[in-house]
Amino acid sequence: SEVTLKDAFANKFLMGVAINDNQASGRDSAGAQLIIKHFNSVAPENCMKSEVIHPEEGRYDFTQSDRFVAFGEKYNMDIIGHTLIWHSQLAPWFCVDENGKNVSKEVLTERMKEHITTVVSRYKGKIKGWDVVNEAFEDDGSYRQTKFYEILGEDYIPLAFQFAHEADPDAELYYNDYSMAHKGRRDAVVNMVKKLQAKGIRIDAVGMQGHFTMEFPKVEDFETSLLAFAATGVKVMITELDLTILPPPAPNVGADVSANFDYQKEMNPYPDMLPDSVSKAWNDRMSEFFKLFIKHSDKVTRVTVWGATDADSWRNDWPMKGRTDYPVLFDRNYQPKPFVNEMINEA
Ligand code: XIL
């Protein structure tokens, strides 16, 4: 029988994928089959974000998150929780009062504690590890000005980790961020990890989102960050891997390319299929990154692709809506990219 991704990397790292509710519920059964076959770890693409799981104060909605966890359990996968504290897809009530004003330190601390405790406890013993805090820094290493930071300052990070640890002492805890090849963010994350460690607060891994373009990052810069994180003693996880083939939006193009005919061709050059030469360039670059993960497989414990097939990928709609992108490991017919088979042989 055919070798799969998870088998190929079995003695190197977990092979993970972000899944959506169509897959977890089995409505997309071909997608679910592909996931079961090739992956041994799952992350929830959206259903555990606070706006979904905790839409109003005092009201939780676990419909999708329960299905997600049940899917992972049924197929014996390592289940990742994503994400507890994030400024984006944030429940609108979380940091403000009924007049939209920031709540006090005390109130926000209490809300964070209640949210984290409720969500983590529900899946205690089932979720292997949590992305506790997501995207707290800017490229230059300064703290992102989120509501959490505005109200609590940098303390919100250790607090979140502490609450998560109390709710499930056996769960692994991760810090997750993007554009990690930037020196500013790299240094800031290293400092943050060291501060948590100095306070005796659990942190198991740094998650490096891999939302790559054909230009950014340079493999060497990504490697420098990977090694810097590992040098603090934590593991490294490649958490949200995808490689867009599309050009970055021109500054004067609106968010919705489908409405902008002048730019449609320029911004959406491959609406039907990827030409071979372009597909080869994509394959080569993706292979380079996988070779890096393999080279450092003593440090990298998981590689999670952000979407099962190109049709599922958020990159079709980000940073601009209405484009056709080819960013992940399986195509729109659920077939592996040539790179997948090359990697299976390489591993
Ligand atoms: C994305 C999802 O893939 C989309 O479906 C959603 O509309 C927006 O969020 N960083 C993260 C992920 O940590 O949770 C984001 O996922 C992509 C960027």
* ipTM of the complex, rounded to two decimals: 0.99
Rounded alpha-carbon distances, angstroms, from residue 313 to 135, 235, 330: 20, 26, 10
Specify the 3-state DSSP secondary structure of 197: helix
Give the ligand 1 atom nearest the CA of 211. 18
CA–CA–CA angle 266, 268, 274 (5° rounding): 115
What is the 6 CA–ligand 1 centroid distance (Å)? Answer: 23
Short-list 167, 84, 90, 87, CA closest to 125? 167
Instruction: Specify the range with the lowest mean pLDDT, choosing from 124-138, 228-242, 265-279.
Output: 265-279
What distance in Å separates the CA atoms of residue 230 and residue 237, rounded to the nearest whole number? 10
The mean per-residue pLDDT over the stretch 107-114 comes to 98
Residue 209: pLDDT band with limits 50, 70, 90 = very high
Give the ligand 1 atom nearest the CA of 86. 13
Question: Does residue 5 lie within any of the structural domains?
Answer: no
Residue 275, φ and ψ in degrees, nearest 5: -60, 150
212, burial (CB in 10 Å: exposed 0-12, middle 13-18, buried 19+): buried
The mean per-residue pLDDT over the stretch 205-232 comes to 98
Structure tokens at 300: 């990298």
Tens-place pLDDT, residues 53-107? 999 999 999 999 999 999 999 999 999 999 999 999 999 999 999 999 999 999 9
Contacts of 19 (CB under 8 A, 6+ apart): 35, 42, 43, 44, 45, 68, 71, 308
Q: Which residue has the tokens 């017919």?
A: 333
| Sign, CA torsion 79/84/85/88 | positive
134 lines ligand 1 (CB under 6 A): yes
Distance of CA 272 to the CA centre of its chain: 27
Residue 1: pLDDT band with limits 50, 70, 90 = low
Q: What type of residue is 220?
A: E
Question: Does residue 10 lie within any of the structural domains?
Answer: no
Residue 344 has pLDDT above 90, yes or no: no
Tens-place pLDDT, residues 122-140? 999 999 999 999 999 999 9
What pLDDT is stored for residue 133 in this prediction?
99
Tens-place pLDDT, residues 246-256? 998 877 666 67
Q: What type of residue is 10?
A: A
Cβ atoms within 10 A of the Cβ of 191, count?
Answer: 13
What is the 45 CA–ligand 1 centroid distance (Å)? Answer: 6
314 lines ligand 1 (CB under 6 A): yes
Cβ atoms within 10 A of the Cβ of 289, count?
Answer: 19
What pLDDT is stored for residue 148 in this prediction?
98
Across-strand partners of 18? 43
Residue 43, φ and ψ in degrees, nearest 5: -125, 145
pTM assigned to the model? 0.97
What pLDDT is stored for residue 250 in this prediction?
72
Tens-place pLDDT, residues 19-49? 999 999 999 999 999 999 999 999 999 999 9
Short-list 131, 94, 128, CA closest to 113? 94
Buried b (16+ CB within 10 A) or exposed e, 291-315: ebbbebeebbbbbbbbbbbbbbbbb
Cβ atoms within 10 A of the Cβ of 8, count?
Answer: 18
What is the 305 CA–ligand 1 centroid distance (Å)? Answer: 12
Residue 223 has pLDDT above 80, yes or no: yes
The mean per-residue pLDDT over the stretch 104-121 comes to 98
Question: Does residue 1 lie within any of the structural domains?
Answer: no
What is the 15 CA–ligand 1 centroid distance (Å)? Answer: 19
Short-list 8, 15, 5, CA closest to 347? 8
What pLDDT is stored for residue 20 in this prediction?
98
Q: Which domain holds residue 26?
A: 15-246+256-346
What is the 290 CA–ligand 1 centroid distance (Å)? Answer: 22
What pLDDT is stored for residue 141 in this prediction?
98
316 lines ligand 1 (CB under 6 A): no
Return mean pLDDT, the chain.
96
Rounded alpha-carbon distances, angstroms, from residue 258 to 244, 324, 330, 333: 18, 11, 25, 24
Short-list 323, 212, 315, 217, CA closest to 264? 323
> Whose C-alpha lies nearest to ligand 1, atom 5?
314
Residue 270, φ and ψ in degrees, nearest 5: -125, 65
CATH number of the domain bearing residue 171:
3.20.20.80
Question: Does residue 237 lie within any of the structural domains?
Answer: yes
How much of the chain is in helix, strand and coil states, percent to nearest 5?
Answer: 40, 20, 40
What pLDDT is stored for residue 244 in this prediction?
98
What is the 306 CA–ligand 1 centroid distance (Å)? Answer: 8
Residue whose CB lies within 8 A of the most ligand 1 atoms, among 209, 306, 321, 328, for a mutation test: 306
From first CA to last CA, the distance across the chain in angstroms is: 17
Give the ligand 1 atom nearest the CA of 313. 3
Residue whose CB lies within 8 A of the most ligand 1 atoms, among 131, 318, 325, for a mutation test: 318
> One of 2, 240, 266, 288 is an active-site residue; which one?
240
Residue 277: pLDDT band with limits 50, 70, 90 = very high
What total number of domains does the chain contain? 1
What pLDDT is stored for residue 264 in this prediction?
80
The mean per-residue pLDDT over the stretch 139-156 comes to 98
Question: Does residue 3 lie within any of the structural domains?
Answer: no
The mean per-residue pLDDT over the stretch 316-336 comes to 95
90 lines ligand 1 (CB under 6 A): no
What distance in Å separates the CA atoms of residue 250 and residue 228, rounded to the nearest whole number? 34
Active site residue 240: yes
Give the ligand 1 atom nearest the CA of 131. 13
Buried b (16+ CB within 10 A) or exposed e, 31-57: bbebbbebbbbbbbbbbbbbbbbbeee
Residue 273 has pLDDT above 60, yes or no: yes
The mean per-residue pLDDT over the stretch 14-21 comes to 98
> Whose C-alpha lies nearest to ligand 1, atom 15?
45
Question: Does residue 7 lie within any of the structural domains?
Answer: no
Question: Does residue 8 lie within any of the structural domains?
Answer: no
Question: Does residue 9 lie within any of the structural domains?
Answer: no
Give the ligand 1 atom nearest the CA of 239. 13
